[in-house]
């Protein structure tokens, strides 16, 4: 959809693009300054699991932000959180293994599972439950072949978040199945709108620590998507396997990017709260505008920067997205995330542009349905 929107704009059409899941901010100024300074020095290879300064900064950050303490052999650095996830699957999965993926899901999860020969197992998490995975559904989906359960919170595309009570209930299921590991994708942990402190599975279930891989990075919180720096915290044996794979498939994350990530983690952090307030204002405005449509049901997301309204009356999301594109606004069909009947709109865009896009959506749906 982003490509089609770009083609229409190149042809002179007025199209608002609400498809891309990346911040519209620049990285914090001190990040760019650190990168420029480093670029003027000789930069060589680094260890495959990251320069010591980055590992130390990431370890300090998770202790500061989530109260979790990990050792130097319990962190693996990769070219973005995405590569860490893929390396973890490659290190642990084989043909016949299963990975439980709640839907709606980030579109890359199933393909990464399939690429290493394993099978995704989907659990439908409807809007009526806040898109949260229920403990009963999790228990019913686990088989002797299950190797991982993925928890992405706040989640893409739904903005789902989990409180400590819900995570406790999921942890109780996992305790009954010691062969299952949990991947906690926390890349949006700094972009959530509740007043309560963030809850991570590793925080509420420390006894499961040896079976949890936390994935994080600088892409979303620090607006550094193209810098490609992420990491995973987990048991030392798994981290060693992930790092070994990293060393053979791309050697290391770019040295310059690692230095910039150190600056992001160790520099002033107030930018996170400032930008979250901007995202919140955009979220609230978008929800208010979309709620004017009789054809949409929009849940206010708890985190991330996406709106994920449901189409009423059984409307086809792909057909509606095509219709909206012709009306001058690009969205992503929910089918891409395992949730047909929804649309995803990114509000990582300037408020006036977002509002105009939402108004076009409401007008187009009202005129054509």
Is residue 35 a part of any domain in this protein? no
Q: Which CATH number does the domain housing residue 126 bear?
A: 3.40.640.10
Burial tier of 25 (Cβ tally within 10 Å: 0-12, 13-18, 19+): middle
Residue 285 placed within a domain: yes
140 and 261 in a single domain? The answer is yes
Same domain, 186 and 287: no
pLDDT digits (tens, 9 = 90+) for 10-67: 999 999 999 988 999 999 999 999 999 999 999 999 999 999 999 999 999 999 999 9
Split at pLDDT 50, 70, 90, the class of 314 is: confident
Cα of first residue to Cα of last residue in the chain, in angstroms, is 21
The residue among 218, 233, 266 that closes a domain is 266
- The answer, yes or no, to whether residue 313 has pLDDT greater than 90, is no
> In the prediction, which pLDDT does 367 show?
82
158: closest CA among 4, 299, 10? 299
- Tell me: the pLDDT tens digits for 263-273? 999 999 999 99
Query: Do 54 and 192 belong to one domain?
Result: yes
Structural domain total, the chain:
2
Residues 6+ away with beta carbon under 8 Å from 149: 99, 100, 138, 142, 174, 180, 181, 182, 183
Closest CA to 215 of 86, 48, 338, 71: 86
The rounded distance, in Å, linking the Cα atoms of 82 and 216 is 9
Residue 75 shares a structural domain with residue 184? yes
pLDDT of residue 82: 97
d(CA 358, CA 364): 10
Same domain, 65 and 178: yes
- Which domain-ending residue is among 246, 266, 286? 266
The whole-number pLDDT of residue 368 equals 67
Q: Are residues 88 and 50 in the same domain?
A: yes
Please check whether residue 33 lies inside any domain of the structure. no
Q: How confident is the model at residue 2 (pLDDT cuts 50, 70, 90)?
A: confident
Cα–Cα distance, 37 to 176 (Å, whole number): 52
Would you state the pLDDT for residue 369? Answer: 61
Strand 75-78 to 212-217 pairing: unpaired
**From CA 155, how far away is CA 183, in angstroms rounded?**
13
- For the chain, give the mean pLDDT: 96
Q: Residue 307 belongs to what H/E stretch?
A: strand 306-307
**Per-residue pLDDT, 21:** 87
Does any domain span residue 34?
no
**CA of 97: how far to CAs of 102, 137, 246, 269, 281, in Å?**
17, 19, 22, 41, 43
- With pLDDT > 90 as the criterion, what percentage of the chain qualifies? 95
Parent domain of 163 = 41-266
Shared domain for 235 and 143, answered yes or no, is yes
In a domain, 32, yes or no: no
Same domain, 8 and 51: no
Kindly report, residue by residue over 90-101, the tens digit of the pLDDT. Answer: 999 999 999 999
Q: Of 239, 266, 293, which residue sits at a domain end?
A: 266
Give yes or no: residues 70 and 196 share one domain: yes
pLDDT given for residue 101 in this prediction: 98
- Domain-located, residue 362: yes
356 part of a folded domain: yes
- The answer to which of 4-18, 71-85, 131-145, 281-295 has the lowest mean pLDDT is 4-18
| Burial class (CB within 10 angstroms; exposed 0-12, middle 13-18, buried 19+) of 195 | exposed
User: Residue 156: which of 97, 231, 219 has the closest Cα?
Assistant: 219
353 plus 213 within the same structural domain: no
In a domain, 21, yes or no: yes
pLDDT of residue 209 exceeding 80: yes
**Residue 282 shares a structural domain with residue 323:** yes
Q: Do 354 and 280 share a structural domain? A: yes
Q: Which CATH number do you get for residue 355?
A: 3.90.1150.10
Q: Are strands 16-17 and 329-330 parallel, antiparallel or unpaired?
A: parallel
The 230-233 sheet, strands edge to edge = 75-78, 230-233, 212-217, 181-185, 146-152, 98-103, 119-124
């Amino acid at each position: 959809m982003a490509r089609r929107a770009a083609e229409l704009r190149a042809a002179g059409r007025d199209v608002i693009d609400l498809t891309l899941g990346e911040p519209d901010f620049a990285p914090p100024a001190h990040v760019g300054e650190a990168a420029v300074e480093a670029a003027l020095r000789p930069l060589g290879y680094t260890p495959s699991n990251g320069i010591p300064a980055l590992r130390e900064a990431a370890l300090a950050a998770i202790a500061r932000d989530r109260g979790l303490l990990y050792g130097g052999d319990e962190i693996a650095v990769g070219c973005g959180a995405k590569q860490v996830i893929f390396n973890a699957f490659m290190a642990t999965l084989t043909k016949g293994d299963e990975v439980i993926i709640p839907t709606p899901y980030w579109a890359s999860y199933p393909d990464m599972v399939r690429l290493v020969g394993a099978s995704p197992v989907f659990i439908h998490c409807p809007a009526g439950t806040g898109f949260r995975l229920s403990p009963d559904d999790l228990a019913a989906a686990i088989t002797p072949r299950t190797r991982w359960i993925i928890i992405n919170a706040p989640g893409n595309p739904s903005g789902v978040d989990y409180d400590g009570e819900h995570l406790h209930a999921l942890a109780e299921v996992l305790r009954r199945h010691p062969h299952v590991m949990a991947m906690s994708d926390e890349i949006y942990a700094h972009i959530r709108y509740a007043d309560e402190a963030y809850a991570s599975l590793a925080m509420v279930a420390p006894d499961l620590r040896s079976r949890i891989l936390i994935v994080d990075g600088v892409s979303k919180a620090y607006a550094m998507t193209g810098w490609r720096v992420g990491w995973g915290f987990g048991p030392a044996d798994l981290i060693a396997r992930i790092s070994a794979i990293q060393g053979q498939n791309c050697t290391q994350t770019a040295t310059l990017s690692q230095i910039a990530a150190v600056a992001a983690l160790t520099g002033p952090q107030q930018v996170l709260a400032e930008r979250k307030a901007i995202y919140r204002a955009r979220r609230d405005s978008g929800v208010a505008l979309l709620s004017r449509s009789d054809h949409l049901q929009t849940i206010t997301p708890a985190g991330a920067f996406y709106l994920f309204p449901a189409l009423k009356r059984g409307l086809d999301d792909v057909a509606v997205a095509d219709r909206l594109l012709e009306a001058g606004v690009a969205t992503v069909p929910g089918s891409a995330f395992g949730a047909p009947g929804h649309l995803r709109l990114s509000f990582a865009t300037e408020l006036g542009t977002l509002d105009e896009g939402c108004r076009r959506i409401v007008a187009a749906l009202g005129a054509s349905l």
